[in-house]
Amino acid sequence: MGTGIRLGRIAGIEIRLQWSVVVIFLLIAWSLATVQFTPTPGVGTTASWVAAVIAALLYFGALLAHELGHALLAQRKGLEVESITLWVFGGVSRLKGEAEGPADEFRIAVIGPVVSLAVAAVFAGAGYLLATLGAPTLAVDVARWLALINLLLGVFNLLPAFPLDGGRVLRAGLWRRSKDRASATRTAAAVGRAFGISFVAGGVFLFVAGAPVNGLWFALLGWFLFGAARAEESHVLLAGALRDVRVAQVMTGHPTVVPTDLAVQDYVEQAMASRFTSFPVVDRSGAVVGLVTMRRVRAAMAGGDQHATVGQVAIPLAQVPVLSPYDTATQLVDRLQQAPDGRALVFDGGHLVGIVSPTDLQRMLDLALLRPRGDR
């Protein structure tokens, strides 16, 4: 979720916006302007559109407040929050690390819906006050719509459909009872997948029953819940299996390096001779300046650039994840999610000591999963 439009930082947390939000914003504004705030005597089309745009902006502001609730409480509990990304189904807070216990898990999960319900109460109060003071009907309608949508947002997120907030609350309860976070995650994820399937089935029913738009939204939401539950379960189980593993145990040590002026044609011979396809690239002084992979070379050759050098096609070092051999494998997994071509370099005291590829990580994961559960 690190892609998208960067909006800035709040409390040191990077705020991003996925491109899909722009489309959803326009759809919400169009729907409000043409259905919810339709022009009436004394209220023209322009006023309806202005109200719709303001309401849509405040809605996404409320989504951000919801996610900030999670993120700021997570910071207070000692977790590092890397970013918040607003997207088509709300927002995602990217945390480094996990809650230490079920109590922290519960508090971090439940604060988001609490914020949404509080925002709903504020707008409900504002709507009542505006109506009492005789404010324009359009202003009252905007406040009431925002109260309703935030109420729905808070209630919806309390559904026990992992990874929604309610699903995380469910996992916290299961975790507290079983003392096993991985087992709690598996159960909560199964419930989340069941909700996802139910939403897809409901969407199909609505589509057949003559409500194609609502049916499509339900189906998309169900697909999202099902996929997100599976992805979150995989991530947690992966982190648990690799919890005590260090990067030094995962990496391929003493990697072969290639000079920046090596032709991409000669890279092919180098790869065939060494059995590896990714190489750190060094300049004439021996300093590592990048990483060349087969995908980069293939793209260059397909583009007719057979005379390019690996230095010209390599990933710059600034874009390559760099770790220490003493970092944990879970840190490695987090860094590789954002890595170009899925590779990382390992340095110890400023010296290159290893390289990590998806194959290295998969091998270590396969071995880690063979250990008895009590050893994980």
CA 53 – CA 38 distance, rounded (Å): 13
Beta-ladder partners of 351: 348
Give which of 237, 223, 144, 226 is closest to 190, Cα–Cα. 226
Q: Where are the alpha helices (DSSP H) in 275-357?
A: 294-302, 310-313, 329-336
Active-site residue, selected from the candidate residues 67, 82, 98, 105: 67
Q: Is 98 a catalytic residue?
A: no
Q: Read off the tokens for 296.
A: 């980069």
CA 335 – CA 115 distance, rounded (Å): 31
Q: 143: Cβ–Cβ under 8 A, 6 or more apart, which residues?
A: 123, 124, 126, 127, 130
The conformation of residue 309, written as its DSSP 8-state character, comes to B
Q: Which is it for the CA torsion 235, 241, 244, 246, positive or negative? A: negative
DSSP string, 210-238: T-HHHHHHHHHHHHHHHHHHHHHHHHHHH
CA 213 – CA 220 distance, rounded (Å): 11
The amino acid occupying position 30 is W
CB atoms within 10 A of CB 330: 20
Query: Residue length, the chain?
Result: 376
CA 278 vs CA 247, 254, 343: distances in Å? 18, 13, 8
* Residue 34 CB-density burial (10 A; 0-12 exposed, 13-18 middle, 19+ buried): middle
Q: Read off the tokens for 225.
A: 């819940």
Instruction: Return the beta strands (E) in the chain as ranges.
Output: 5-10, 13-17, 80-87, 90-96, 252-253, 258-259, 279-282, 288-292, 315-316, 322-323, 344-348, 351-356
Catalytic residues: 67
